[in-house]
């Protein structure tokens, strides 16, 4: 009788209840984004969808309307995509919105099969399982806007990531949201329903206060880092003339000289002189920087229309590095394996190669070192089309249809390795652009073979793709900060168009934007700071376990779905067999 009453009550809510639940989730997540700043709103953001899953009777209909309600979250946070590909933006919004409906559909199915207590325990696991599905599996993974991400502003709760990764923080958020949803949805006396939510709030407060008291990860010697923030919009990079490219490159050289000669702002921590200079992703715009490729370029004796040798940009880079007092210059540039230069029938230069990579190089004392990091996790739909790129014909047609001017011609790197600065005695992890949001890639760069390989994370990125969206830049920064917490490793970001910054091992931003500027993005400049490095023996549990918790939640979610779908599928097959047999008897 109680179940029938609940079903009637739920049906009376109508489709609009599912739509409102999706909208409530969307607006709470939007409030928690960095550009709004109400990060604490995220702790109840999943609650409306959990409430809907617990009350839904028409799961398919409610899941569909929840997707519609969640769409504003993804439409607003990814508006910048529409400036790059107007045709790509709607499918992306639709795809990301599906996860809200998928949660409601799975949760509703579980609620019909589990006891109330088991359902409320399972709901947070399903939430994190779907985050892992989106962040690690589908379309090569898109680990942005997780429920746990805004809690980087809660230094205590953020420390959970050093044990179990950001998926563990999302599990905390989902667990509290489940308690809040139970307070509204669960049976029994209202006072009894509120008790779990109150207890969960107390636990969160205790965790925040207690984990703040943990000592900071062990630190090594500080390193004075000079970050050059360029400001070349992506539209200019894709269509600029030779003259404009030269002007932008000369400006980057000038900024490097300013960084060399300027004293750092803020109190020094013992570093003597700039120990590392950093340029953003692919801001070296010459043909080749690596030694083997440069020899091929020199033999070709190429020149620009104004008579400037094509090797002039590399020569200027090497000359500048010789004036930096022996400090290394970390350069983002295109790397090649087996570069071959030729002119096509129309007289245009073609660069054929066995491999073309988005790379990070170390230049010191006028020499390009042989070590090179090649980006291993190419940006989905920015550098590669997952699944689609296997067919170059289909890829070219889709590019012509929705992203003219882009070329997906990069190869993934073979190994997530760290660059070694021998004189300084440290390793540097150099996740490039989108890789800073890929926890597994950064973890492998920092820690491998049971040993710490990197003592500093340096994220080279081109955030010019975000156009005029400060929200997109801040979301990218927010995701990057978690890598410092997970690995107990300080981080530096060098971003074209911003936001460049320095991050400590607890994910706190120590310096933001160029020195002396009131703006953090849309402006060029330099950021010079003494940055602590991680001690060689500094370890976190996450460095050993990785995202095991996220994968475990995904596996449990998949098993639950299989347990629900397989019996239903068997019953459907059996019904069809019986119907076929009945029909055969009638025919006989």
To which H or E segment does residue 368 belong?
A: strand 367-374
Cis preceding linkage at 200, omega within 30: no
- DSSP, collapsed to helix, strand or coil, labels residue 3 as helix
Q: How do residues 264-319 score in pLDDT, each as one tens digit?
A: 555 555 556 899 999 999 999 999 999 999 999 999 999 988 889 999 999 999 99
Residue 1 pLDDT greater than 80, yes or no: no
Residue 248 pLDDT greater than 70, yes or no: yes
Tell me the average pLDDT of the chain.
91
> Shortest CA distance to 533 belongs to which of 80, 262, 220?
220
Which domains does the chain possess? 2-214+548-572 (no CATH), 223-339+355-377+412-545 (3.60.110.10)
The two tokens of residue 401 are 């249809």
Q: What is the 3-state secondary structure (H, E, C) of 81-134?
A: HHHHCCCCHHHHHHHHHHHHHHHHHHHHHHHHHCCHHHHHHHHHHHHHHHHHHH
Q: How do residues 479-519 score in pLDDT, each as one tens digit?
A: 999 999 999 999 999 999 999 999 999 999 999 999 999 99
Alpha helices in 447-499 (DSSP H): 470-487
At residue 283, the pLDDT reads 95
Q: Which string of b and e fits 250-278 if b means at least 16 CB within 10 Å? A: eebbebbebbbeeebeeeeeebeebbbbb
> Shortest CA distance to 535 belongs to which of 471, 454, 481, 473?
454
Q: How do residues 374-419 score in pLDDT, each as one tens digit?
A: 999 999 988 888 888 777 777 777 777 666 666 788 999 999 999 9
DSSP one-letter code for 420: E
475, 483 contact by CB (below 8 A): no
- DSSP, collapsed to helix, strand or coil, labels residue 515 as coil
Q: What is the CA angle 337-342-345, rounded to 5? A: 140
Return d(Cα 134, Cα 334) in angstroms, integer.
29
Q: Cα dist. 28→41, 176, 232, 364 in Å?
A: 6, 14, 34, 48
534, 219 contact by CB (below 8 A): yes
How is 248-294 classified by DSSP, letter by letter? HHHHHHHHHHHHHHSPPSS---S--S--EEE--TT---SS--SHHHH
pTM of the model: 0.92
Q: How do residues 21-47 score in pLDDT, each as one tens digit?
A: 999 999 999 999 999 999 999 999 999
Q: What is the mean pLDDT of residues 249-275?
A: 80
> Shortest CA distance to 378 belongs to which of 411, 352, 350?
411
Q: What is the mean pLDDT of residues 188-192?
A: 61
- Report the 10 Å Cβ neighbour count for 294: 20
Return d(Cα 266, Cα 278) in angstroms, integer.
19
């Amino acid at each position: 009788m109680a179940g029938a009453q609940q079903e009637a009550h739920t049906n009376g809510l109508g489709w609009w209840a599912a739509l409102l639940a999706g909208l409530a989730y969307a607006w709470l997540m939007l409030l928690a984004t960095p550009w709004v700043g109400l990060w604490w709103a995220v702790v109840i953001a999943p609650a409306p969808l959990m409430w809907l899953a617990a009350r839904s009777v028409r799961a398919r209909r409610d899941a569909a309307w929840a997707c519609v309600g969640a769409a504003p979250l993804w439409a607003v946070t990814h508006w910048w995509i529409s400036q790059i590909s107007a045709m790509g933006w709607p499918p992306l919004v639709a795809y990301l919105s599906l996860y809200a409906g998928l949660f409601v559909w799975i949760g509703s199915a579980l609620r019909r099969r589990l006891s109330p207590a088991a359902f409320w325990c399972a709901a947070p696991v399903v939430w994190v399982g779907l985050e892992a599905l989106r962040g690690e599996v589908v379309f090569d993974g898109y680990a942005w806007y997780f429920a746990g991400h805004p809690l980087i502003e809660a230094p205590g709760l953020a420390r959970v990531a050093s044990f179990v990764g950001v998926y563990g923080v999302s599990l905390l958020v989902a667990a509290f949201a489940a308690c809040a949803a139970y307070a509204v949805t669960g049976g029994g006396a209202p006072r009894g329903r509120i008790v779990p939510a109150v207890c969960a709030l107390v636990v969160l407060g205790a965790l925040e206060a207690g984990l703040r008291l943990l000592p900071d990860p062990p630190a090594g010697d500080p390193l004075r880092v000079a970050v050059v923030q360029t400001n070349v919009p992506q539209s200019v990079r894709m269509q600029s003339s030779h003259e404009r490219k030269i002007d932008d490159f000369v400006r980057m050289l000038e900024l490097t000289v300013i960084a060399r000669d300027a004293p750092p702002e803020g109190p020094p921590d013992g570093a003597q002189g700039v120990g590392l200079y950093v340029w953003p992703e692919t801001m070296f715009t010459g043909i080749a920087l690596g030694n083997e490729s440069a020899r091929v370029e020199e033999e070709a004796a190429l020149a620009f229309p104004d008579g400037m040798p094509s090797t002039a940009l590399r020569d200027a880079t090497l000359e500048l590095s010789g004036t930096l007092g022996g400090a290394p210059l970390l350069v983002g540039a295109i790397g090649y394996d087996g570069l071959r230069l030729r002119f096509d029938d129309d007289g245009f230069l073609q660069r054929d190669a066995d491999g073309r990579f988005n790379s990070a190089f170390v230049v010191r004392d006028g020499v390009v070192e042989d070590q090179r990091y090649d980006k291993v996790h190419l940006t989905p739909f920015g550098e590669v089309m997952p699944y689609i790129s296997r067919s170059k014909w289909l890829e070219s047609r889709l590019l012509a249809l929705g992203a003219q001017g882009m070329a997906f011609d990069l190869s993934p790197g073979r190994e997530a390795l760290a660059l070694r600065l021998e004189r300084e005695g440290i390793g540097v992890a150099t996740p490039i652009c989108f890789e800073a949001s890929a926890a597994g890639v950064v973890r492998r760069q920092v820690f491998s073979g049971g040993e710490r390989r990197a003592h500093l994370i340096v994220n080279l990125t081109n955030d010019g793709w975000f156009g005029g969206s400060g929200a997109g830049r801040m979301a990218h920064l927010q995701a990057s900060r978690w890598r410092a917490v997970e690995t107990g490793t300080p981080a530096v970001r060098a971003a074209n168009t911003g936001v460049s910054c320095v991050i400590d091992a607890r994910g706190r931003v120590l310096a933001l934007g160029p020195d002396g500027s009131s703006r953090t993005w849309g402006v060029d400049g330099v950021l010079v700071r003494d940055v602590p490095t991680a001690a060689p023996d500094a370890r976190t549990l996450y460095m050993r376990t990785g995202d095991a918790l996220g994968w475990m939640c995904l596996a449990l979610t998949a098993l639950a779905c299989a347990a629900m779908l397989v019996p239903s599928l068997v019953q459907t097959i059996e019904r069809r067999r019986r119907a076929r047999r009945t029909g055969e008897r009638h025919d006989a």
